[in-house]
Amino acid sequence: MVDTNSSIDYWYYELYSLLESVTTPFCYIVNYINEHPGTRCFIFAQNCKKGDIDAWLNDERVKVYWWEDMTKTHANNPEDFDGLSDFIEALNELIEPDFGAIIEILLPIASEELFSLYYLADNYPAGEVVITNSDGLDFQIIRQFQATFGNQVDRENVRPFLKSLYGGWALFGYGASGEMRLGSDFRWDYITIPSYSDVDISSIDWGKQQSSRHVTF
């Protein structure tokens, strides 16, 4: 359980990575897991379709803790639209499925298997891979992750979730940009490393670091 009164201190890195390194992050993650007995691997997934959820539910390598159709959270107030085109665009976004899920990858796992579980049927990344040495997934993390969906989400909605993850629970997180489809010439990778982690950003060498941000609150 995270101490909600404690301060949060982590580094957030953005990497520019080329196509040929697309499987490298998963080799890194699996190597870390193998070198740290007792660690666990979760995926906090967004922008999934029902078929992706069904595939995980029927995969013996996966434990699904929570899933839900979060499309409804993207509903807007009609008064917010400037015209018909804006309203139609918003309707199209609402129709696009946005299922969320939290899954645990059951170990041991090969890097190729983790890679295949992370990329969805439409070849887009599922979300964020989170490595932890915790005994379990607290229900408050599920509720806080649910609060990160929708159009009206701001920093205050996301902070409790980040605090639960990087206030003592997670060792590091990895995610690829949700806008970059598998097979693109390049992608943006995002690495989150809390101050208490033994992960050093210098060990992550598959992409060119574009920016870094030290986050405390």
55 in helix, strand or coil? helix
Which helix (H) or strand (E) segment holds residue 104: the answer is: strand 99-105
Residue 72 resides in a domain: yes
Report residue 85's pLDDT band, with 50, 70 and 90 as the boundaries. low
The token pair at 82 is: 């400037």
Report residue 72's pLDDT band, with 50, 70 and 90 as the boundaries. confident
The token pair at 70 is: 């979060």
Which pLDDT value is given to residue 74?
Answer: 60
Give 170-180 pLDDT, tens digit per residue: 999 999 999 88
Report residue 191's pLDDT band, with 50, 70 and 90 as the boundaries. very high
* C-alpha to C-alpha distances, 148 to 153, 158, 211, 216, nearest whole angstrom: 6, 6, 23, 19
Looking at the predicted structure, is the pLDDT value of residue 63 above 60?
yes
Residue 2 resides in a domain: no
Residue 64 resides in a domain: yes
The stretch 50-64 carries a mean pLDDT of 97
Do residues 52 and 126 make contact, with C-beta atoms less than 8 angstroms apart?
yes
State the Cα–Cα distance between residues 155 and 108, nearest whole angstrom: 36
Which pLDDT value is given to residue 83?
Answer: 54
The stretch 51-71 carries a mean pLDDT of 96
Residue 124: give the domain boundaries.
9-216
Looking at the predicted structure, is the pLDDT value of residue 50 above 90?
yes
Residue 82 resides in a domain: yes
Give 194-217 pLDDT, tens digit per residue: 999 999 999 999 999 999 999 999
Residue 110 resides in a domain: yes
Residue 135 resides in a domain: yes
The total number of structural domains in the chain stands at 1
Residue 33 resides in a domain: yes
Residue 88 resides in a domain: yes
Give 131-163 pLDDT, tens digit per residue: 999 888 999 999 999 999 987 778 888 999 999
Which pLDDT value is given to residue 6?
Answer: 58
pTM of the model: 0.87
